[in-house]
Amino acid sequence: MLILKLIEMKKSLFIFIAVVMIQTILFSQKNEYQYIALRFGASHGFTPAPGWHINKFANTEFGDLHLSPDGSAYVPGFVFDFYYHFDFTTDNAGIYVGLEYNYSGLGAKYVADRNTTFTLKEIDRFHAIGVPIAFKYGPDIWKTQRYFFAGAQLNYIIAMNQVSSPSWNSTPSSVKITPDEYNKTAFNLFLGFNYAAFNLQFDYYPKSIFNKKYLDEDRFYPYNTMPDQVFLLKTSVNIPYRWLSEKSFWWRKKLRKTFWR
């Protein structure tokens, strides 16, 4: 129950983590390494299917057909991050803070109740700016850049749009989702593993990014059956600037010894 309450208090939890980590920086021993890093790569959306909705209809050549959920849909996207790392003097732990741009989303598949040849895929995409804070741990972090990490992130959703791909129409349609229809801030937890320049991260959003209390013009709640959780997998290239410079020098020295000795 305590964990669930903390997840609900997303802003308070994020501020608490930020304060603790800042205090760790200020009152710990002198940092062994402080450096910036850039990360960029792909974002993969895997989200549970939505629930059944009484007002989910599609206009087809056979008239309005009610649609039922038929599973989730994979959503590709991309991510770009700027990090500032603080590695402790032990060189086996550290923290980092950063700024992230994430373009991702969630998807669903539907099928018509009375005519199963009619299907629909809907992709809801969002553009978001996030502030991640994380703790990392691994042996000899600076030299190997091999470590596990876990943290929290507060996101501000800039914009959303919905792309519909019906089986009865070869041309997908796109509509803008208004700010009233989604929550402008979203909180997520994450964990992952970094190996040299390769980074793998799993994100978990405990609350729906949609505003489930939004009432449309027909007096229906279009998002009250959308999934409460969002799951993202990020596969990226992570480039620590100083570490890359040192490795580049090491490789140049090796090549000179090999070809010009």
pLDDT at 2: 43
Which pLDDT does position 4 carry in this prediction? 45
Q: What is the pLDDT of residues 22-42, one digit of tens each?
A: 555 544 444 557 889 999 999
Tokens describing residue 73: 């849909």
pLDDT at residue 246, as a whole number = 63
pLDDT at position 42 is 97
Pairing relationship of beta strands 146-166 and 93-112 according to DSSP bridges: unpaired
Q: How far apart, in whole angstroms, are the C-alpha atoms of residue 106 and residue 44? A: 9
Phi and psi torsions of 94, nearest 5°: 180, 180
Query: Domain limits of the chain?
Result: 2-259
Tokens read off for 139:
């042996």
Report the predicted TM-score, pTM, of the whole model to 2 decimal places. Answer: 0.80
State how far the Cα of 215 lies from the Cα of 220, in Å rounded to an integer. Answer: 5
SS (H, E, C) the chain: CHHHHHHHCHHHHHHHHHHHHHHHHHHCCCCCEEEEEEEEEEEEECCCCCCCCCCCEEEECCEEEEEEEEEEECEEEEEEEEEEEEECCCCCEEEEEEEEEEEEEEEEEEEECCCCCCEEEEEEEEEEEEEEEEEEECCCHHHHCEEEEEEEEEEEEEEEEEEEEECCCCCCEEEEECHHHECCEEEEEEEEEEECCEEEEEEEECCCCECCCCCCCCCCCCCCCCCCCEEEEEEEEEEEHHHHHHHHHHHHHHHHHHHCC
The per-residue pLDDT for 216 is 87
Contact assessment for residue 41 and residue 237, using Cβ atoms and an 8 Å cutoff: yes
CA distance 156 to 141: 31
Give mean pLDDT in consecutive 10-residue pieces for the chain, a chain of 261 residues: 48 58 50 83 94 88 88 95 91 92 95 88 96 94 92 96 88 91 95 94 95 88 91 94 61 51 51
pLDDT at 158: 96
Tokens of 51: 């629930």
Q: State which amino acid sits at residue 211.
A: N
Q: Using CA atoms, how far apart are residues 135 and 150, in angstroms rounded to an integer?
A: 6
Token pair 């409460």 is found at 228
**What is the tens place of the pLDDT at every residue in 102-124?**
999 999 999 998 888 899 999 99
